[in-house]
Amino acid sequence: MKQKITETANSMGIDIIGFTSVLDYGYLKDLLLNRIDKEYNSEYEEKEINKRLDVRNVFPECKSIIAIGIPYALGYKKPVTKDMGLLSVSSYGTDYHKELNGILYHLAEEIKKYKRFEYVICVDTSPLIDKEICKNAQLGSYGKNTLLINDSYGSFINLGYLLTDLDIENPKAINTDICGECDICIKSCPNNAIFKEGGLNSKKCVSYLTQTKNYIPVDYRKNMYNQIYGCDVCQIVCPKNRLNSEKVTKNEYTDLLINLKELMHISNKDFVKKYGALSGSWRGKNVWKRNGLVTIGNLQLLSMYDTVKEELDNPSELIKIYAAWSLIKLKKENARDVLNNKLKYEDDKIKQEYMKLMELRL
């Protein structure tokens, strides 16, 4: 059965495929609880841990899992810019959720031509722990950057799987150390989010910071540099992503660059029209705009001073307080006068934030 399914997948162009019959992930309970205890978790994970620990919570009839990896952006190099924002390459082109859902559906329907079975598709958004399931299905091993790295394709692979009621046995994968002494991702992580001993503090990861609606500590903002959505640094530096040239799919990624002036003025409708199909748009316009304001401050784009100033009148607190930060980064003395004049119109929370920012040595 495994061989036949693998052949079907290969004939559809799916190179990375594996199987696991590990259904119970209770062995990760302490690790997950420990992360929560230390507040290393993110708000994008299912809060009720037990729901994450057994695939039968999602599909009670599950007996085995068919997992796949779909490579993207092989050989990716960041486009260079001095005055634009940047999206992570995981947000390039068609939303990978949509793409993988389609591929997995197609695969399941092909398998059904010779074997009746029931299935549930999972890509990213289920409570389950995709990397661990795919590691058990032998799609790859954990790198120090905590991502799953495939032997042939590296870590630029999106993961998805079919929970099935098929009787497919496969032993649990053993952890292999594929990084050895290499710690380039740990050293390169802009905000030191990766631990030497393994694991990641999500709250410090730039990818997390670009997505969260929570308050971003002032000290972390410079490390977001020009990221409007996501971050690829720990993958770009990884030697496992330096592939043979025949695997490199594309070199030009200028579509990932974001015009900041346009972003500051874009309407909700135009945002959805222009960026709505990208996986990185799920947090909406204001989060991108907030990141745009951080970028303008970080890149010292003085020509954007007036545009940023206008955003102090934006009704959204999420925008206002980052506009204030950005303005101070651009021209501290002028910004102080502007913010002082605004104090009387703002509520206590915003007032306090402005006062704090004016006192900081930015």
Active site positions, annotated:
124
Half-sphere exposure of 352 (CA within 13 A, CB side): 3
Return the range that interacts with ligand B12 (CB under 6 A); candidates 108-116, 129-137, 270-278, 349-357. Answer: 129-137
- CB closer to ligand B12 out of 232 and 311: 232
CB 321 within 8 A of CB 306: no
Determine if 159 is a binding residue for ligand B12 (CB under 6 A).
Answer: yes
Determine if 198 is a binding residue for ligand B12 (CB under 6 A).
Answer: yes
Map the footprint of ligand B12 across residues 205-234, applying CB under 6 A.
205, 207-208, 211, 230-232, 234
- CB closer to ligand B12 out of 11 and 254: 254
State the Cα–Cα distance between residues 291 and 311, nearest whole angstrom: 13
- DSSP letters, 297-309, are HHTT-GGGHHHHH
- CB closer to ligand B12 out of 211 and 307: 211
Applying CB under 6 A, among 110, 124, 165, 317 the residue interacting with ligand B12 is 124
CB 179 within 8 A of CB 143: yes
| Distance of closest approach, residue 317 Cβ to ligand B12, in angstroms | 22
State the Cα–Cα distance between residues 189 and 3, nearest whole angstrom: 40
Determine if 147 is a binding residue for ligand B12 (CB under 6 A).
Answer: yes
Q: Determine the 3-state secondary structure of 138 from DSSP.
A: coil
Nearest-CA neighbor of 98 among 126, 69, 123, 73? 123
Q: Answer left, alpha or beta for residue 34, where phi above 0 means left and psi between -120 and 50 means alpha.
A: alpha
| Distance of closest approach, residue 216 Cβ to ligand B12, in angstroms | 13
- CB closer to ligand B12 out of 155 and 226: 155
State the Cα–Cα distance between residues 236 and 107, nearest whole angstrom: 30
Map the footprint of ligand B12 across residues 3-62, applying CB under 6 A.
28, 31-32, 42, 44-45
State the Cα–Cα distance between residues 218 and 325, nearest whole angstrom: 9
Amino acid code (one letter) for 63 = K
Structure letter (DSSP) for residue 276: T
Applying CB under 6 A, among 23, 120, 200, 264 the residue interacting with ligand B12 is 200
Return the range that interacts with ligand B12 (CB under 6 A); candidates 144-152, 285-293, 337-345, 352-360. Answer: 144-152
Q: Which two tokens stand for residue 99?
A: 């793409």
Angle at 125 between CA 119 and CA 127, to 5 degrees: 80
State the Cα–Cα distance between residues 100 and 105, nearest whole angstrom: 8
Return the range that interacts with ligand B12 (CB under 6 A); candidates 103-111, 202-210, 333-341, 353-361. Answer: 202-210
| Distance of closest approach, residue 286 Cβ to ligand B12, in angstroms | 18
Determine if 291 is a binding residue for ligand B12 (CB under 6 A).
Answer: no
Applying CB under 6 A, among 136, 138, 191, 202 the residue interacting with ligand B12 is 202
- CB closer to ligand B12 out of 199 and 276: 199
- Taking CB under 6 A as the rule, which mask of x and - marks residues 54-93 in contact with ligand B12? ----------------------------------x-x---
Q: Which helix (H) or strand (E) segment is 219 a member of?
A: helix 218-221
- CB closer to ligand B12 out of 3 and 175: 175
- 238 Cβ contact list (under 8 Å, min separation 6): 143, 145, 149, 154, 155, 184, 185
- CB closer to ligand B12 out of 8 and 202: 202
Number of other residues whose CB lies within 10 A of the CB of residue 224: 21
How many positions of this chain bind ligand B12 (CB under 6 A)?
Answer: 38
Under the rule (CB under 6 A), what is the footprint of ligand B12?
A: 28, 31-32, 42, 44-45, 88, 90, 123-124, 126, 128-132, 142, 145-148, 155, 157-159, 197-200, 202, 205, 207-208, 211, 230-232, 234
